[in-house]
Structure 1
Amino acid sequence: MKNIRNKMKKSIVTFLLLFISVSVFSQEEDAREKEKALRTSTNLTWDGNKNLSENNFVQAEVDYRKAIAKSPENAAAPYNLGTAYYNNETYSEAFGRFKEAGEVATSKQEKHKAYHNMGNVFMKRKDYPKAVEAYKEALRNDPTDDETRYNLALAKEMQKKEEEENKDKNDDNKDQQDQEDKKDQNQDKDKEGDNKEDQNQDNKDQGEDGNEGDKGDEKKDENKEGDGDEKEEQKKKPEQGDQPNEQQERKPNQLSKQQVENLLRAMQNAEKQVQEKIDAKKVKGAKVKNEKDW
């Protein structure tokens, strides 16, 4: 029984030693593979630097991309590729590569360079607030870099200037908007005044039309009354057919009424003349009495 226990202990120890050996071997193998990949990546980076110095940008870009794919730990490859993009003014690609280099960098110096160049990209884009933050991060990794310090001061100055310009622009826009609003209000008031005048004129015209209508109605009433009076007069007058026609009723060899009246008037005048002659003779024969005054 005791022998069995000893054998089991030996087996467990042997298994543990074997497991540790395999793990150590695997780690060493992984380390060797990473080291090998890093050497290959570094060599590709050198090739890219050489092609870039010979102005062969296309081949340099290929070498840098291969170096990045071979070993993510090689911060120099994305940094150098970002620099190539920056010099070609491809700032979006440059920023992406500088950011990648800053993330994989293990030393403060590498991080400082990556963030410094990110600040330069933001300055080219005129994104001054982000440039300020990038330069600050670069100085955290290397506070002694005067170039980064100068760029930070310049970025702050440009940011301040931009804010002042935006403030002035906003003030101008506000003043312009206020003027436009005031102009619109004045136009609305003028429009309301015109509408009010038009309404008053319409009311005035309607009043005049009403007065003319009343006058017309009065004239109509007068004409109507006149027509009524004329009709009444016509009713009172006998119709022509009802009036006696003297000429039609007069018999042959018979004097008319007018002729009879004229004849009687002539006879009366003759009698009057005779009487006047008789009276005149009487007056001539009579004596004149002398009347005395008292």
Structure 2
Amino acid sequence: MKQWRIMIVFFLPLFASAQSATPNNLIKKGNELYRKGAFDKALEAYENALKAKPDNMVAGYNQGNALYRSEKFDEAAQRFGEAAEKAKSAADKSRAYYNQGVAMNKQNQLEPAIEAYKNALRNDPTDMQARENLQKALQELKQKQQEEKKKQDQQQQEEKKKEEPKDPEKEKKEEQKKNKMSQKEVEQKLKSMEEKEKQLRDKLQQQKKAAPERPGKDW
């Protein structure tokens, strides 16, 4: 089976505007920790920013990034979804939905990932990365469904065989058929042996006719 790989082009943390000094400073601190790879501490900073301003899309989005880097894909997908709902611009919505699709795909949740990529494209139809990932996810889902159907068909056939009762009459006919074939093979072998014996007798007779007669014994 051909393996499809989703292109992971992850959008990095966003930068907050100066609408609120406290959340902005917390997000800035979280971004610095994120760049250093201290994702747990970055998560804490973003969480504090969200406590100060729950509808802060940037803090929620960046928190999703930190969760993703910590391989907490399920929580990351949830945060990206929440960030997409809070986003004011189509561009921010598209980025959040795209990242949500990537996080879901990491968990092999193909159908939700497909829907997330579609949402990304609804907000930004020019996003080629979202379009490419959508196509690959659709192909992977199709192959998965085909494999599952094939497996189900095999299981159904096996179950059907188990459920079918034995038919003594059918078994008897099959046994007779086997015996008949065996008898036929025996007859063919006997016929072949008879043919060989006949050929040998004919050969001996021909040699006898060709040999000269010996004179009688002198007395």
* TM-score of Structure 1 vs Structure 2, range by shorter chain: 0.5 to 0.7
How far is 1:129 from its partner?
A: 1.6
* Length-normalised TM-score, structure 2: 0.65
Partner amino acid for 2:31? N
RMSD: 1.7
The runs of 5 or more residues in structure 2 that have no matched partner are 1-16, 169-219
Match of 1:131 among 113, 116, 119: 113
Cα distance in 1, alignment partners of residues 20 and 121 from structure 2: 28
Match of 1:166 among 110, 131, 148: 148
CA contact (8 A) 2:77 2:101 kept: no
Instruction: Name the % identity.
Output: 36
Which deviations, in whole Å up to 9, do the C-alpha atoms of 1:108-165 show, x marking residues without a partner?
Answer: 1110011111111221121212111110110011111111010000110011111101
Q: Deviations over 1:15-72 (max 9, x none)?
A: xxxxxxxxxxxxxxxxxxxx98733212211110101111222321111001111112
SS at 2:67's partner residue? helix
For residues 58 and 132 of structure 1, do their structure 2 counterparts lie closer, same or farther at Cα, with a shift above 3 Å needed? closer
Partner of 2:104: 122
Question: Residue in 2 aligned with 1:144?
Answer: 126
More helix by share: 1
Matched, 1:44 2:26: yes
Q: Which deviations, in whole Å up to 9, do the C-alpha atoms of 1:185-231 show, x marking residues without a partner? A: 11xx66xxxxxxxxxxxxxxxxxxxxxxxxxxxxxxxxxxxxxxxxx
Structure 2 counterpart of 1:145, which letter?
D
Is 2:92 aligned against 1:97? Answer: no
Q: Which runs of 4+ in 1 moved over 4 A?
A: none
Q: Using the alignment, how far apart are the partners of 2:116 and 2:18 within structure 1?
A: 33
**Counterpart Cα distance in 2 of 1:113 and 1:83:** 11
Cα deviation 1:255-290 (Å, max 9, x = unaligned) = xxxxxxxxxxxxxxxxxxxxxxxxxxxxxxxxxxxx
Q: How does 1:67-82 map to 2 (within 5 A)?
A: 67-82=49-64
Contact 1:51 1:57 (8 Å CA) reproduced = yes
**SS where residue 73 of structure 1 aligns?**
coil
Equivalent runs, 1:1-294 vs 2, <5 Å = 38-182=20-164, 185-186=165-166
- TM-score in terms of structure 1 length: 0.49
Is the 2:43–2:67 Cα contact (8 Å) retained in structure 1? no
Runs of at least 5 residues in structure 1 that lack an aligned partner in the other structure: 1-34, 191-294
Contact 1:122–1:128 (Cα < 8 Å) also in 2: yes
In the alignment of these two chains, the number of paired residues is 152
Instruction: Please say if residues 37 and 70 of structure 1, whose CA atoms lie closer than 8 Å, have aligned partners that are also in contact.
Output: no
SS in 1 for 2:20: helix
Tell whether the 8 Å contact from 1:82 to 1:94 is kept in structure 2 after alignment.
yes
Compare CA radii of gyration and give the structure with the larger one.
1
CA 1:61–1:164: 2 relative to 1, 3 Å: same
One-letter amino acid of the counterpart of residue 97, structure 2: Y
Higher normalized contact order (CA 8 Å, seq sep 6+, divided by chain length): 2
For residues 75 and 39 of structure 1, what CA distance do their matches in structure 2 show? Answer: 15
CA distance in 1, matches of 2:91, 2:21: 20
Q: CA deviation at 1:73?
A: 3.1
Task: Indicate the SS of the match to 1:89.
Answer: coil
State whether residues 112 and 138 of structure 1, in contact with CA within 8 Å, keep that contact through their aligned partners in structure 2. Answer: yes
For 2:43 and 2:109, how far apart are their aligned partners in 1? 27
